[in-house]
A and B are shown apart, each in its own frame.
Chain A
């Protein structure tokens, strides 16, 4: 049972825009930044979004993040086949003094 709640799956066709939600509580998302990690099949996770909406160099601007209250979302526009992966949200939890993750969302490009 993950601390943060994500939908287990999402899908879209090439070129579409999809969003993945992540909900938490006042002790985690509500008072901290949200991060998103992409895990391609068989690979290690990779940082996709940091501090709610910042993209590391090399991450296409098709990926964007937002946060409102105790919820956050990742949007992927112009969906491509190579975006098929698992996506995890994460944030700091003040009561744990550590990082908590969502259960992950498997994105399928139809």
Chain B
């Protein structure tokens, strides 16, 4: 059974940086694209970023493009999200999720999701 466990969340000041990690188990990590989705307090879901199984292709939502960097270490079965120039509006629970294909492309879905890690951007 695929399992995902996020870590690295916390309180950071505006303009600061934070790196999230997502440890994967129960499936062949390198065979699947991975993604980050966030949820601001009391709000809906927002796709943040996706990365192909090989790590060679990355994709970002407009609200984080140029500030966030997604990466993966297939030898460690771990997904990362480097978040720079953080803003108050980046405050959210960040979920990592397994994509149902090795390529980040249509016709696929998120399953499963991790339990999430909370990032709070505040002075």
Which residue numbers of A lie inside 8 Å of B, CB to CB? 2, 32-33, 35, 37, 43-47, 50-51, 56, 88, 90, 92, 94, 96-104
Q: Give every chain A residue within 8 A of B55 (Cβ-Cβ).
A: none
- From A32, A88, A104, B106 is in contact (CB under 8 Å) with A32
Beta-carbon contact of B44 and A44 below 8 Å: no
Binds A, one of B20-28, B73-81, B83-91, B107-115: B107-115
Beta-carbon contact of B44 and A2 below 8 Å: yes
Answer whether residue B116 sits at the interface, using C-beta atoms and an 8 A cutoff.
yes
Given A88-B44, A101-B46, A44 contacting B109 (CB threshold 8 A): no
Given A33-B106, A44-B95, A45-B95, A99 contacting B47 (CB threshold 8 A): yes
Q: Give every chain A residue within 8 A of B111 (Cβ-Cβ).
A: 46-47, 50, 56
Q: Give every chain B residue within 8 A of A43 (Cβ-Cβ).
A: 115
Given A46-B113, A47-B110, A37 contacting B47 (CB threshold 8 A): no
**In the complex, which residue of chain A has the Cβ closest to the Cβ of B48?**
A98
Which residue numbers of B lie inside 8 Å of A, CB to CB? 35, 37, 44-47, 50, 59-62, 95, 100, 105-107, 109-116
Given A44-B114, A44-B115, A100 contacting B47 (CB threshold 8 A): yes
Beta-carbon contact of A96 and B61 below 8 Å: yes
Q: Give every chain A residue within 8 A of B62 (Cβ-Cβ).
A: 96
Beta-carbon contact of B44 and A104 below 8 Å: yes
**In the complex, which residue of chain A has the Cβ closest to the Cβ of B107?**
A33
Docked pose: A16 CA to B105 CA in angstroms: 37
